[in-house]
Structure 1
Amino acid sequence: MASFSQSSIEEGSDFVPEYLCNGSACKDKSTVMNAEVYCETCDKFFCKKCCGLHDHLFTGHNVLGKEHENKWSVSNEKDSTSQKLKVDSSRPQPGNKDPSKNRVLKKIAAFAQRVSKTFKAVEMPAKKPSQGQETIRPSRDAFTAGAQWHVSSDNVSGRRAGWNDDKKNPMREGTFTTDAEKDQSELLKKDELRNQVSNLERRLQQLEVEQVRNEKEQENRRLEEQRVRMQLEYEEEKKKIKAREEELNNRERHLEEQRVSMQLKYEEAQKKIKAREAEVGRGEEEGGGGGVKGR
């Protein structure tokens, strides 16, 4: 994330502001990332990851990279917390009878003045940090001396939420402070939902392909079972036909044997008839010869 060079900060200040990512993805995960680009249309800073999501959703926005850092704009909004902490350190505050509380308020007032100077320094053209120069981030312990109060460099852009003055507890990083952030968050959520729908559609297509494949496999199994069943039926019918043919052959042999037997019987009867006729003929011849002798 781009940061101001130390030369752009007034000498003696112990707070170096930074350009921090305003993307919803970083806020939802409570991560702090350095900004790599600035969108003039949205008036927001984005890291590389959030920039990809932003470019995917808003293709027509004007985005400036680090090479145009001097054109990066700073919102005119001031942090309401710093305005509330502009107290008069010369006299005790009403209702604060404890001198330690007055000292705390004096420290907070001094810090608020440094923050005001920081806003002025931010409005100046910032140079890129030279090599070897590191961005210094203020310690959180220095901000919590008796009163829980947090000022991040995102107060420069006027969008990041600080501490909740009512509950005295830090607000969640993803808390929205502008309608633009809400709209971007809704768009990112819609994009995430679209991705989920796309994944579900791909999964549905895979399930449909698997279903078609399973149906084909079931059809192939059904056809194979039908083929096997028909093969068994064919073999069974073939056996029946063979048994029928054998039965017919046996019947033919039996009929042939009956025919031969009857033929033999017929021939035997013919022989008997012929023998009887011959015997009768001889008897007639013998009877005729005896009558001739008597005369």
Structure 2
Amino acid sequence: MPAPNLPLLCPVCFQPLEPAGPHPGGQGRLVCGSSHSFDAARQGYFNLLVGKGTAFEADTAEMVEARFNFMGKGHYLPLAEAVAAAVVPSLPRDPAVVLDSGTGTGHYLRVLLDAAEADGLDVAALGLDISKFALRRAARLNPEAVNLAWDVWQPLPVRDNSVDAVTVIFAPRNAAEFARVLRPTGLLAVVTPRPGHLASIAESAGMLRIEEGKEHRLAGAMQPHFRIESARDVDFPLALTRREAADLALMGPAGHHSDRTAIAARLEGQPEPVAAEARFRLTVFRPAWPRKQ
């Protein structure tokens, strides 16, 4: 069952959405004052998308499996630990609320929650994604979080000024909505790849190149809702098997226009271990003041 007092809103009427008794089938439920009810899927997440749902292409089961396999081996653990180190010290000692937008398989959120627990913090977590395949994994990895199927470009089903930290790791950024749900003292942590990321294998694996000027465009897109508090590079080497390199390619945008067989064929000539360098930028934003309405 979801924890009580989470800052959720009904996507139909925008009244507070609260956990209720389980459905007769045994799954949890979320219910608002107007009796709109959302039952948890058997895998533990809630689908709040109503009406036409979302027009955006969700990650496929094959892409999610590749990400789960790759992340489960700890290849991106240094990045997850860097995000946790940027967020956890700023969380309040009272129960804090963290929103992981584009939670994917939930691995980054898992590291953050473990770090918060080690620091003695009580954290309520929300994970959003549009891929039901990803949410099935996230709900198993982070059962204490509320994992929601949602489109970040729609108004978030979260109350104003109710979240202490938003994390966005390789996911879309709705600056206005993030600013609305964050408390004035909250923070937004954004991770983006930098030029040169995985450059040694990107072409052979069919991966998209990182555009120059991406960081400058990020800062511009977050204005006028946010100001940059800090930014740091997170770089580390990778030594992968060809299968792990294929997982790495398949779990990203390349997975929408290719498949494992094609990617594996492109990597066939690569000697093992396949060497690459991960290059990321971790930017921490604070809400701008006065807030733009």
TM-score band by shorter chain is under 0.3
Larger Rg: 1
**Which structure shows the bigger proportion of residues in helix conformation?**
1
TM-score by length of 1: 0.22
**Which structure shows the bigger proportion of residues in strand conformation?**
2
